[in-house]
Structure 1
Amino acid sequence: MKEEINDLVQLLNLSPHPEGGFYAETYRSSLVLSELPSFSGPRSCSTGIYFLLTQESRSHLHKIQSDEMWHFYKGDPLRIVMLSPEGVYSEKVLGPNLFYNEVFQFVVPKGYWFGAEVVEGGEYSLVGCTVSPGFDFSDFELATKDVLTSRFPDHKECIEKFCLK
Structure 2
Amino acid sequence: MLTALQLIRQYNLQPHPEGGWYKETYRSNEHIPAGVLPARFNGERAFSTAIYFLLERGNFSAFHRIKSDECWHFYAGDPLLIYIFQPDGALTVVQLGQDISAGQVFQFTVPANCWFASQPAEKSRFCFAGCTVAPGFDFSDFEMADSNGLTALYPFYETTIKALCRS
User: What range is the shorter-chain TM-score in?
Assistant: over 0.9
Question: Taking every aligned residue pair, what percent have the same amino acid on both sides?
Answer: 45
**TM norm structure 2:** 0.95
Partner AA of 2:44 in structure 1? P
Match of 1:143 among 135, 142, 145: 145
Structure 1 Cα separation of the partners of residues 61 and 161 of structure 2: 12
Range that drifts further, 112-121 or 83-92: 83-92
1:67-108: CA deviation from partner (whole Å, max 9, x where unpaired) = 000000000000000112332111100001011100000000
Please report how far the alpha carbon of residue 158 of structure 1 lies from its aligned counterpart in structure 2 after TM superposition: 1.2
Which residue matches 2:89? 87
Partner AA of 2:24 in structure 1? E
Structure 1 segment 24-103 matched on structure 2, within 5 A: 24-34=23-33, 35=35, 36=37, 37-103=39-105
Q: Report whether the alignment pairs 1:21 with 2:17.
A: no
> Which structure 2 segments of 5+ residues have no match?
none
Aligned length in residues? 164
Please report how far the alpha carbon of residue 27 of structure 1 lies from its aligned counterpart in structure 2 after TM superposition: 0.3
Structure 2 Cα separation of the partners of residues 38 and 150 of structure 1: 23
Give structure 1 regions of 4+ aligned residues with deviation exceeding 4 angstroms: none
Contact 1:85 1:113 in 2 (8 A): no
**TM norm structure 1:** 0.96
Please report how far the alpha carbon of residue 7 of structure 1 lies from its aligned counterpart in structure 2 after TM superposition: 1.2
1:8-33: CA deviation from partner (whole Å, max 9, x where unpaired) = 10101100000000000000011101
Partner AA of 1:42 in structure 2? E
Secondary structure, aligned partner of 1:51: strand
Structure 2 Cα separation of the partners of residues 6 and 74 of structure 1: 13
> Which structure 1 segments of 5+ residues have no match?
none
Secondary structure, aligned partner of 1:110: coil
